[in-house]
Amino acid sequence: MKVTKAQAQANRARIIETASTLFRERGYDGVGVADLMAAAGFTHGGFYKHFGSKTDLMAEAASCGLAQSADVAAGVDLKDFVELYLSREHRDKPGDGCTLAALCADAARQPESVKAAFAAGIERQLAAPARQAGRPVDDANSETRARRIALMAQTIGAVVLSRSCPDDAPLADEILEVCRARLFAQLSDEGLI
């Protein structure tokens, strides 16, 4: 039976979304094409009708996941964002969480197309507050951008460090608690919360 163009696009989107979740859960090397396609509800043979390679899918799945992360963060006030991001729930569910916290280390070892998807996603997240306020993206001054980069690095780094510890390790929780408290103090001192 011939698949319509609309159905083929829907199938491709389903594969990308499934890959985005599985890559966040298991990393790029922890997901094979056959497992991915089975999880999406398709046969292994159909993969190459949609993608030239696993790397192509990795780049598209990264873009998808980064866009989802940006959508979740949009409109959430800074204090709530830090509270949610540096929570045990976020730490324990990488498949449902931030693509950056789950895959930055993996992305660093991938081809340029994957790195480019991450760079574009990071830039989109750095520009999001200006877009949400209805200002041109280039109106952000360098100090504001520097603060956003530092906040991004601190929150992502805290989750990555916490995830590197055994699940039941007190250190895993301590990392999140200390970083959350320090960020709240810093943001309060800067008058941002």
Identify the three-state secondary structure at position 77: coil
Enter the pTM of the model.
0.88
CB 112 within 8 A of CB 60: no
Q: Please name the amino acid found at residue 158.
A: A
CATH class of 53-189: mainly alpha
**Which residues, at least 6 apart from 85, have a Cβ–Cβ distance to it below 8 Å?**
98, 155, 159
Question: Of how many residues is the chain composed?
Answer: 193
Which pLDDT score is estimated for 58? 96
Q: pLDDT digit of tens for each residue in the chain (193 aa)? A: 677 889 889 999 999 999 999 999 999 999 999 999 999 999 988 898 899 999 999 999 999 999 988 887 777 888 999 999 999 999 999 999 999 999 999 999 999 999 999 999 999 888 876 555 555 555 556 888 898 999 999 999 999 999 999 999 999 999 999 999 999 999 988 888 8
End-to-end Cα separation, the chain, in angstroms: 57
Buried b (16+ CB within 10 A) or exposed e, 106-131: bbeebeeebeebbeebbebbbbbbbe
CB 11 within 8 A of CB 50: yes
